[in-house]
């Protein structure tokens, strides 16, 4: 007391603090009473008992003298688990063990399982039922398949447990099973996850299925009070990461960002998690957390749930918001990753190569791990990558067919691999051969939102993408060759570009991509003036130098008015310029503010590099660009042609270290490509000006073509599709030879255990 008063701490406060400390220590179980869930001589039914935590729990309960009924689907694994359980029995002569094969996602599975269990158990129901069977399919919510994954997760995790609890409660709570209220209670145990207490990005298909279990358990806890003569306890276990076969499976679709975030809670072995869970159950806990963070998270969400201990749960519940104040601000910070429903990434400039290399070095290990994992089981992701690759090839063929102008995209570009500063090759870091350009994957990152993970790709997939890419490079090269002729008579200086093109790797040219084929005939391209006419604008006064120049240039698109009924004043010189610029120019990466708001006569925001004071064609019309957010020095927003999505046949992307960074960064990339670009054609198109341009050109070409030419285009496209299909088939045949190679039509995401 002397010391306290000398320190100036008032007695009531000191006593209060001391009281709280004693209460905390007492409540945290130092003075525990008896085991609240004895199992010796009792019968425990565990679903999901053949692998992971369920199997560990079964083994540990056998060691404590329980009889066990193991439930899961795969009989082979059940038999192995049964052998382990038998070996662990504390009194093998009296304990009994069996298994029942059942799929917990099947409607009405549970009553049959319980009936079989009761029959095996001499007419008595099991005393403890622990629902462990579960699965997880991490994905981003906007990914393909996330909704079907969510339904599947719900069927297995929620309904699988919900049905079992109902079937067993109907037994336990029936009047014939009434007992002395003081007899040992029965136990129904659900297995959720800390993700039912704290959500992190990537688990949207999964977390709700576990949150739902919490809602059910709270409700049951109250409902069970209606049966004082049939004592039953309900529990929910909240594991964090368990190093189980299930974890390996879920990692196949896990986004990189999710891997990153969940590192904060280190994985535990199934044995450890099962042991801590059983300890919690024996302590009589309702919500059983198996780690310190889990305990904090649990106390952070208590709401109206029954408490394990009013004192410690409440005190910790006051502290957790303070922790969250710091944790959540960090976790919810903007991550700068565009997705397919938001905007495409701004041009990735400005990050020093040094920083990039350091960042990559930091991620190297996990990237390798993932790559290794996928090497072991490439089939898991193969199908969708293949799908994506198909689209890629189709886009490639389309690009070739649409007379892609490659002579423009070499401006000021350095040698390939110029970004390999510090001797640190991101390509190597990601487990790819250094010469593989990651742009092939990037088409999916920027456009598909799914992000074919270059570093998460199995070798055959990498090979395939690489091949696609080289094919495209080849086609482009061949095409470019041909295109240069056209350019040379149009632009006397065109040849200056030529030396900047690196010849692409000479891989076998696929059929259908032969140089010089029909639809690439440059004579089919219409001039801007012709396309203006095709767009419905009659004879125009072409007076200004800019208009004259643009009039002769190959047109890129038809001009489409936002309001087709409107008649535009084309008597004005600058308005003719605007029209031609709109037809001949390039789409802005991001529309100017006016176009974004829907102003201006035409439907897209088009710029011509170095012209119209930087403003777009729409803003040039009638207003000479005055209101354009691109006006004057405000960043002309021309899209670097093709460099955003098409693979660099020359130096274009390789020279930009930040570009590589984007493409190979694990946060963006180690995300299984379950999202075939097919289903995202709409969003790809919307987000990607280069694709828009590609399609615009195709539209212009097709619109401008007469019947016979359209037939030829049709034949050309069909021939390419056939060629792609044949190439695909050849790949498949050659891949089948390799162990673990993909099988045609293999289900990718579907089932968790490959039963």
Ligand X SMILES: NC(=O)C1=CN([C@@H]2O[C@H](COP(=O)(O)OP(=O)(O)OC[C@H]3O[C@@H](n4cnc5c(N)ncnc54)[C@H](OP(=O)(O)O)[C@@H]3O)[C@@H](O)[C@H]2O)C=CC1
**What are the residue numbers of the active site?**
206, 210
749 makes contact with ligand VSD (CB under 6 A):
no
Nearer to ligand VSD, 136 or 430 (CB): 136
Determine phi and psi for 263, rounding to 5 degrees: -65, -20
Q: Is the Cα torsion angle 596, 549, 535, 566 positive or negative in sign? A: positive
Distance of alpha carbon 552 from alpha carbon 360, whole angstroms = 48
Residue 621: which residues within 8 A CB-CB, separation 6 or more? 568, 574, 575, 578, 579, 600, 601
Q: Is 52 helix (H, G, I), strand (E, B) or coil?
A: helix
C-beta of residue 361 within 8 angstroms of C-beta of residue 665: no
Binding residues vs ligand X (CB under 6 A): 47-54, 72-74, 77, 103-105, 132-136, 156-157, 191, 193, 239, 241-242, 244-247, 270, 752-753, 755
Nearer to ligand VSD, 323 or 345 (CB): 323
Closest separation in Å from C-beta 372 to ligand VSD: 19
Closest separation in Å from C-beta 238 to ligand VSD: 9
Nearer to ligand VSD, 193 or 458 (CB): 193
Among 136, 191, 604, 650, binds ligand VSD (CB under 6 A): 136
Q: Which does 77 bind (CB under 5 to 8 A by kind): ligand VSD, ligand X, none?
A: ligand X
Determine phi and psi for 98, rounding to 5 degrees: -155, 175
| DSSP sequence for 254-269 | --HHHHHHHTTS--B-
Which H helix or E strand runs over 43? strand 43-47
How many Cα neighbours within 13 Å face the side chain of 5? Answer: 2
Nearer to ligand VSD, 198 or 537 (CB): 198
Q: Which does 74 bind (CB under 5 to 8 A by kind): ligand VSD, ligand X, none?
A: ligand X
Closest separation in Å from C-beta 431 to ligand VSD: 23
Based on the number of CB atoms within 10 Å of its own CB, is 186 exposed (0-12), middle (13-18) or buried (19 or more)? buried
C-beta of residue 155 within 8 angstroms of C-beta of residue 105: yes
Cα end-to-end span (Å), the chain: 69
Closest separation in Å from C-beta 135 to ligand X: 5
Q: Which does 413 bind (CB under 5 to 8 A by kind): ligand VSD, ligand X, none?
A: none
Closest separation in Å from C-beta 269 to ligand X: 10
Among 97, 172, 198, 621, binds ligand VSD (CB under 6 A): 198
Which H helix or E strand runs over 434? none
CA distances from 633 to 597, 605, 610, 612 (A): 21, 17, 10, 12
Site size toward ligand VSD, by CB under 6 A: 22
Q: How many CB atoms lie within 10 A of CB 256?
A: 25
Q: Which does 327 bind (CB under 5 to 8 A by kind): ligand X, ligand VSD, none?
A: ligand VSD
Closest separation in Å from C-beta 299 to ligand VSD: 9
Q: Which does 200 bind (CB under 5 to 8 A by kind): ligand VSD, ligand X, none?
A: ligand VSD
- Per-residue x/- marks for ligand VSD, 238-277, CB under 6 A? --xx-----x--x----------xx-xx------------
- Per-residue x/- marks for ligand VSD, 290-329, CB under 6 A? ---x--xx--x-------------------x--x---x--
Using CB positions, name the residue nearest to ligand VSD.
193
C-beta of residue 456 within 8 angstroms of C-beta of residue 672: yes
Residue 338 sits at the vertex; the CA angle it makes with 332 and 342, to the nearest 5 degrees, is 100
Binding positions for ligand VSD, 214-243, rule CB under 6 A: 240-241
Nearer to ligand VSD, 193 or 469 (CB): 193
Q: Which does 52 bind (CB under 5 to 8 A by kind): ligand X, ligand VSD, none?
A: ligand X
Closest separation in Å from C-beta 136 to ligand VSD: 4
How, if at all, do strands 128-131 and 43-47 pair?
parallel
Distance of alpha carbon 72 from alpha carbon 48, whole angstroms = 5
Distance of alpha carbon 586 from alpha carbon 582, whole angstroms = 8
Q: Is 387 helix (H, G, I), strand (E, B) or coil?
A: helix
- Per-residue x/- marks for ligand VSD, 326-345, CB under 6 A? -x------------------
Closest separation in Å from C-beta 28 to ligand VSD: 17
Closest separation in Å from C-beta 35 to ligand X: 23
Q: Which does 653 bind (CB under 5 to 8 A by kind): ligand X, ligand VSD, none?
A: none
Distance of alpha carbon 164 from alpha carbon 189, whole angstroms = 10
| DSSP sequence for 184-202 | PPEEEEEE--GGGTS--TT
Nearer to ligand VSD, 320 or 668 (CB): 320
Nearer to ligand VSD, 301 or 681 (CB): 301
Burial 741-752 (b: 16+ CB within 10 A, else e): bbeeeeebbeeb
Q: Which does 298 bind (CB under 5 to 8 A by kind): ligand VSD, ligand X, none?
A: none
Stretch that binds ligand VSD, among 36-44, 190-198, 430-438, 679-687 (CB under 6 A): 190-198
Instruction: Point out which residues bind ligand VSD (CB under 6 A).
Output: 136, 193-195, 198, 200, 206, 240-241, 247, 250, 261-262, 264-265, 293, 296-297, 300, 320, 323, 327
């Amino acid at each position: 007391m002397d010391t306290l008063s000398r320190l100036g701490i008032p007695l009531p406060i000191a006593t209060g603090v001391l009281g709280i400390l004693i209460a905390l220590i007492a409540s945290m179980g130092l003075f525990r009473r008896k085991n609240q869930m004895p199992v010796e001589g009792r019968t425990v039914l565990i679903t999901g008992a053949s692998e992971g935590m369920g199997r560990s729990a079964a083994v540990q309960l056998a060691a404590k003298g329980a009889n066990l009924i193991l439930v899961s689907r795969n009989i082979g694994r059940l038999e192995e688990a049964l052998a382990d359980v038998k070996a662990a029995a504390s009194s093998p002569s009296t304990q009994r063990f069996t298994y029942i094969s059942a799929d917990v996602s099947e409607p009405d599975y549970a009553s049959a399982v319980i009936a079989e269990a009761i029959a095996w158990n001499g007419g008595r129901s099991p005393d403890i039922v622990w629902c462990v069977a579960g699965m997880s399919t991490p994905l981003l919510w906007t990914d393909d398949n996330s909704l079907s994954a969510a339904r599947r997760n719900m069927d297995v995790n929620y309904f699988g447990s919900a049905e079992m609890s109902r079937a067993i409660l109907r037994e336990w709570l029936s009047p014939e099973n009434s007992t002395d209220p003081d007899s040992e209670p029965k136990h129904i145990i659900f297995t959720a996850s800390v993700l039912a207490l704290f959500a992190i990005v990537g688990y949207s298909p999964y977390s709700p299925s576990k949150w739902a279990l919490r809602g059910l358990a709270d409700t049951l806890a109250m409902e069970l009070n209606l049966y004082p003569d049939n004592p039953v306890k309900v529990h929910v276990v909240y594991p964090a990461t368990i190093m189980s076969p299930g974890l390996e499976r879920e990692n196949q679709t896990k986004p990189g960002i999710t891997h990153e975030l969940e590192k904060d809670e280190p994985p535990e072995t199934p044995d450890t998690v099962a042991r801590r869970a059983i300890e919690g159950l024996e302590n009589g806990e309702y919500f059983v957390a198996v780690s310190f963070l889990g305990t904090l998270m649990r106390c952070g969400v208590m709401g109206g749930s029954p408490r394990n201990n009013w004192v410690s749960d409440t005190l910790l519940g006051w502290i957790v918001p303070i922790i969250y104040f710091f944790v959540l601000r960090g976790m919810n910070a903007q991550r700068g990753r565009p997705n397919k429903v938001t905007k495409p990434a701004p041009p990735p400039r400005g990050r020093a190569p040094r920083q990039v290399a350091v960042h990559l070095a930091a991620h190297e290990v996990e990237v390798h791990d993932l790559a290794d994992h996928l090497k072991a089981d490439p089939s898991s992701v193969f199908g969708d990558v293949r799908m994506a690759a198909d689209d890629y090839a189709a886009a490639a063929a389309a690009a070739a067919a649409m007379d892609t102008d490659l002579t423009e995209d070499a401006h000021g570009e350095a040698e390939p691999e110029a970004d390999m500063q510090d001797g640190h090759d991101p390509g190597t870091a990601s487990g790819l051969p250094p010469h593989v350009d990651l742009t092939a994957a990037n088409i999916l990152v920027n456009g598909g939102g799914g992000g074919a993970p270059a570093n998460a790709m199995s070798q055959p997939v990498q090979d395939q993408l690489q091949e696609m890419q080289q094919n495209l490079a080849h086609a482009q090269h061949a095409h470019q060759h041909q295109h240069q002729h056209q350019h040379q008579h149009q632009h006397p200086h065109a040849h200056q570009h030529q030396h900047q093109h690196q010849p692409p790797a000479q891989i076998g040219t696929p059929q259908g991509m032969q140089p010089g084929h029909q639809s690439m005939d440059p004579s089919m391209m219409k001039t801007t003036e012709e396309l203006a006419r095709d767009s419905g604008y009659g004879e125009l006064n072409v007076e200004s130098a800019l208009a004259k120049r643009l009039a002769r240039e190959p047109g890129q698109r038809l001009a489409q008015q936002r309001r087709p009924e409107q008649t535009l004043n084309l008597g004005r010189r600058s308005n003719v310029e605007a029209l031609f610029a709109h037809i001949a120019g390039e789409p802005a990466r991001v529309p100017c503010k006016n176009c974004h708001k829907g102003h201006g006569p035409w439907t897209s925001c088009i710029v011509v590099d170095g012209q119209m004071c930087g403003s777009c064609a729409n803003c040039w019309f009638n207003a000479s660009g005055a209101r354009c957010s691109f006006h004057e020095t405000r960043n002309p927003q021309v899209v670097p042609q093709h460099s955003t999505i098409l693979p660099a046949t020359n130096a274009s992307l390789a020279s930009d270290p930040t570009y590589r960074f984007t493409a190979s960064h694990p946060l963006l990339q180690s995300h299984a490509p379950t999202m075939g670009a097919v289903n995202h054609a709409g969003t790809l198109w919307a987000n990607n000006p280069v694709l828009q341009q590609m399609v615009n050109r195709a539209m212009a070409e097709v619109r401008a073509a007469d019947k016979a030419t359209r037939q030829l285009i049709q034949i050309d496209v069909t021939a390419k599709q056939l060629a792609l299909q044949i190439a695909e088939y050849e790949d498949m045949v050659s891949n089948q030879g390799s162990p673990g190679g993909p099988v045609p039509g293999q289900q990718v995401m579907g089932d968790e255990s490959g039963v």
